[in-house]
Amino acid sequence: MAYAAVASVSETLSLILNHHQYAVFLDQKRRLRSLHQHLKFLRAFLEDFPDKAIHLEGRIRDAATEAEDIIEHLLSEEIRSWSSTGGGGGRPRTVHPSPHRTANSISRRLQKMCQQLPKAAEVVGSIVEEVMGIKNSLGAVQDPQVLTHSSPPTTSSTALVPTKKYDQKIDAMVGFEEDLLATKTRLYGGSSKLEFIPIYGMGGIGKTTLARNAYGDSLIVEHFDIRAWLTVSQDYSVQQMLFALVDSIKPFNEKFDGEKHSYEQMSEQVYKSFKGRRYLVVLDDMWSTKAWDDVRRILPDDSNGSRIIITTRLQDVAAYADSSSPLHEMRFMDVDQSWILLRQKVFNEQHCPAELESTGMMIARSCKGLPLAIVVIAGILKTVSQTQASWEDIAKKVNLAVSAKDEQFGRILSLSYTHLPHHLRPCFLYMGCFPEDYEIHVSKLVQLWMAEGFMKPSVSKSFEEGAEEYLEDLVKRSLVLVNRRKSNGKIKSCSVHDLVRDLCIRKAREEKFVLYALDRYVDRILPKPIKDQHRLSIPRSTMLLFQNIFTPTIRTALYFQHCRLFPSSLKGFRLLRVLDAQKVTVMKFPAEVLELFHLRYLAFTRGYDDLCIPAS
């Protein structure tokens, strides 16, 4: 990820150039200023000429990453030397070192690293010369040294204005009206015995949308005493499923707090609360029959018209709960339905220009009837000019993606990434760091993006405001789903579709953006490629994973498993900026955190309220 790498090292250089207490850089200031200007020049090139930057992105990323590794290691050694000579706590203090201090206090290893910096700057300079040649051929050349040090980059013209429409609506069932009617009929009609409604079909075909429309229908809401929505996913947690069921019974038992009870106590309380009441439970995105076995015994059968909806991609899983229940198979949309959906997503209630209709129909036909593909392509069409030439260009790209028989839907979704402006790409790929079907709280996401250095400085808005605009832009492009909004219309929580998340992970792997690790891959995958990675996401694992890693380059570690054990050693994460261990309960503040001089974001759960946390 070239843009993220350039943005990150630029921010680090700004910090160094605006402070004078780092002795190791005193004789390097001129070189660092030049490097900073070169990186700002490359950042502007990535933003303004994305098509011309494609073949240089890998080299720009690697050069920026190499420079940042050297600079941050130098910073760490400098600050560490302050601790060993009485600097106190490992945190920088305001000091005024002598230029002669470098030779006396910096180790040989540090001096060797200082010698690597000119080579790294030279590599960046050579890329700048190539870029200047490209821009010169386009008549848009600008000397990178002309860029002022203090002026912030201009806001990209591709940013979309945040929506003013605050009502969160369930997606309309375009083309699937009969499916919705049939599902609702099965929910409040038929037998009084407990019935199952299995909905199956490939990813992105509309299973969850159908279930959500039925679940949120006003007649259905009135008909059932209790409704509960459980997102199961491949790496499901029985505990999380129980928490969702506990939430559904709060109107009947407000005092019950699932966090303070065992699995058996929660199961018993859910069973008692559901007993005698007509309920609707949705088990969304179920991948295994074991998930059904884990939850089935908690749900009573009182022959009172209760219903359970199951959505899955697998026919055998759909049939497992009750082989006598008719399976509802989701079918592909026809061409007319596809065009209606595409037109609605692009123009809302407005009229489609007549000259775009034939091209629009062609694009709709190329999406092969998959609703998710249609919605994502509509997100692209909303960002380009409404001209025949622009739409024909998109049509050619979609046709090219479809012509590759293997992974054709994946290739269609990839077009959405290709059309993202560079400043949005790291924010989008970051969504893949979270576990499947994870509800992401925006307040946390914004803080993470800021800590990562993704946000551009602006004189007219704060970093938080900029991050919220980025997120709204991704929503408008149909790449991020809004789960909940606040009363003021701002997004409170969001998520991504499984297939879109797969795209994030695939692109992140290609661009060395994040390593997505599981315990079972530790011995086979981590030791080799970890040296080239800056981010590590651990969705479901144990803290033993950290003991298997020694990596001087990791800047971000995201951990999503509930446990009560903090990593016993953080020595392998000396350059860490982001440590998100919010699911980890800490009984004693780990002193090693104070040695993480670059840390910008730290999250964990206090084991008790008066846990002593150092001020710095």
Given this model, what pLDDT does residue 495 score?
Answer: 93
Q: Tell me if 247 sits within 8 A of 228, measured CB to CB.
A: yes
> Does the pLDDT value for residue 253 go beyond 70?
no
Top pLDDT among 609 and 125 is at: 125
For residue 139 the two structure tokens come to 């008549």
CATH code, 216: 3.40.50.300
Burial class for 182, CB neighbours closer than 10 Å (0-12, 13-18, 19+): middle
Do 475 and 344 share a structural domain? no
Given this model, what pLDDT does residue 468 score?
Answer: 94
- Reported as a single tens digit per residue, the pLDDT across 180-216 is 999 999 998 878 899 999 999 988 899 999 999 999 9
SS3 604: strand
Top pLDDT among 403 and 70 is at: 70
Do 378 and 324 share a structural domain? no
SS3 380: helix
Q: How far apart are CA 152 and CA 545, in angstroms?
A: 40
Given this model, what pLDDT does residue 402 score?
Answer: 73
168 domain residue, yes or no: no
Q: Tell me if 232 sits within 8 A of 283, measured CB to CB.
A: yes
Residue that has been written with the tokens 């595409």 in this structure: 342
For residue 40 the two structure tokens come to 């700002």
Q: Tell me if 539 sits within 8 A of 518, measured CB to CB.
A: yes
Q: Tell me if 8 sits within 8 A of 14, measured CB to CB.
A: no
- Reported as a single tens digit per residue, the pLDDT across 68-105 is 888 888 777 777 666 555 544 444 433 334 444 444 44
**Going by DSSP bridges, is the β-strand pair 515-516/535-538 parallel, antiparallel, or unpaired?**
parallel
> Does the pLDDT value for residue 396 go beyond 80?
yes
- Reported as a single tens digit per residue, the pLDDT across 325-366 is 999 999 999 999 999 999 999 998 889 999 999 999 999 999
Which of 288-297, 482-491, 535-544 has the highest average model confidence (pLDDT)? Answer: 482-491
End-to-end CA separation in angstroms for the chain: 32
Torsion of CA 410, 413, 417, 420, to 10 degrees: 170
Give the angle 168-172-173 at the CA atoms, nearest 5°.
150
- Reported as a single tens digit per residue, the pLDDT across 521-550 is 444 444 444 566 788 888 765 555 555 555
CATH code, 480: 1.10.10
Nearest Cα to Cα of residue 239 among 255, 262, 269, 270 = 262
Given this model, what pLDDT does residue 516 score?
Answer: 78
Q: Could you tell me where the beta strands, DSSP code E, fall in 474-545?
A: 481-485, 491-495, 515-516, 535-538
Counting residues of the chain whose pLDDT is more than 90, the rounded percentage is 33
What pTM was computed for the model? 0.73
Do 256 and 194 share a structural domain? yes
45 domain residue, yes or no: yes
Q: How far apart are CA 506 and CA 525, in angstroms?
A: 16
Lowest mean pLDDT among 107-111, 356-360, 438-442: 107-111
Residues 6+ apart with CB under 8 A from 592: 569, 570, 571
> Does the pLDDT value for residue 278 go beyond 90?
yes
85 domain residue, yes or no: yes
Q: Which domain holds residue 399?
A: 335-418
**Going by DSSP bridges, is the β-strand pair 307-312/279-284 parallel, antiparallel, or unpaired?**
parallel
157 confidence band (pLDDT: 50, 70, 90) = very low
Q: How far apart are CA 47 and CA 42, in angstroms?
A: 9
Q: Tell me if 337 sits within 8 A of 191, measured CB to CB.
A: no
362 domain residue, yes or no: yes
Given this model, what pLDDT does residue 49 score?
Answer: 85
User: Among 298, 329, 360, which residue terminates a domain?
Assistant: 329
pLDDT mean over 37-50 = 89
28 domain residue, yes or no: yes
Q: Tell me if 35 sits within 8 A of 13, measured CB to CB.
A: yes
Lowest mean pLDDT among 153-167, 419-433, 447-461, 546-560: 153-167
Do 208 and 339 share a structural domain? no
Q: How far apart are CA 402 and CA 394, in angstroms?
A: 12
Q: How far apart are CA 221 and CA 229, in angstroms?
A: 13
Sign (positive or negative) of CA dihedral 571, 572, 575, 580:
negative
65 domain residue, yes or no: yes
Nearest Cα to Cα of residue 227 among 203, 208, 209, 244 = 244
Q: How far apart are CA 170 and CA 484, in angstroms?
A: 11
What is the arrangement of strands in the sheet containing 491-495, beginning at the earlier edge strand? 440-441, 491-495, 481-485
311 domain residue, yes or no: yes
How would DSSP label each residue in 124-170? HHHHHHHHHHHHHHTT----GGGS-SSPPPPPPTTPPPPP------P
Lowest mean pLDDT among 89-93, 105-109, 161-165, 505-509: 161-165
Q: How far apart are CA 220 and CA 204, in angstroms?
A: 25
Do 444 and 370 share a structural domain? no
Do 23 and 125 share a structural domain? yes
For residue 228 the two structure tokens come to 């509960």
Do 297 and 396 share a structural domain? no
> Does the pLDDT value for residue 141 go beyond 90?
no
Secondary structure letter of residue 519 according to DSSP: G
Do 262 and 354 share a structural domain? no
Sign (positive or negative) of CA dihedral 223, 227, 229, 232:
negative
Do 318 and 348 share a structural domain? no
Top pLDDT among 403 and 146 is at: 403
Nearest Cα to Cα of residue 53 among 42, 68, 64, 65 = 42
Do 110 and 12 share a structural domain? yes
In the chain, % helix, strand, coil (3-state, to 5) comes to: 50, 10, 40
User: Among 362, 388, 418, which residue terminates a domain?
Assistant: 418
Given this model, what pLDDT does residue 91 score?
Answer: 43
Q: How far apart are CA 97 and CA 26, in angstroms?
A: 9
Nearest Cα to Cα of residue 131 among 39, 64, 65, 69 = 39
- Number of domains the chain is built from: 5
368 domain residue, yes or no: yes
What is the arrangement of strands in the sheet containing 556-559, beginning at the earlier edge strand? 515-516, 535-538, 556-559, 578-586, 601-606
Nearest Cα to Cα of residue 496 among 420, 398, 428 = 428
SS3 483: strand
- Reported as a single tens digit per residue, the pLDDT across 564-576 is 666 556 766 788 8
> Does the pLDDT value for residue 429 go beyond 70?
yes
User: Among 395, 418, 441, which residue terminates a domain?
Assistant: 418
In angstroms, the Cα distances linking 578 to 325, 493, 551, 597, 614 are 49, 20, 15, 11, 18
> Does the pLDDT value for residue 581 go beyond 90?
no
Which strand (E) or helix (H) includes residue 474?
A: helix 463-476
- Reported as a single tens digit per residue, the pLDDT across 443-473 is 999 999 999 989 887 778 899 999 999 999 9
Count the alpha carbons within 13 Å of 49 in the hemisphere toward its beta carbon.
Answer: 19
Do 342 and 324 share a structural domain? no
Do 141 and 123 share a structural domain? yes
Given this model, what pLDDT does residue 355 score?
Answer: 94
pLDDT mean over 149-172 = 40
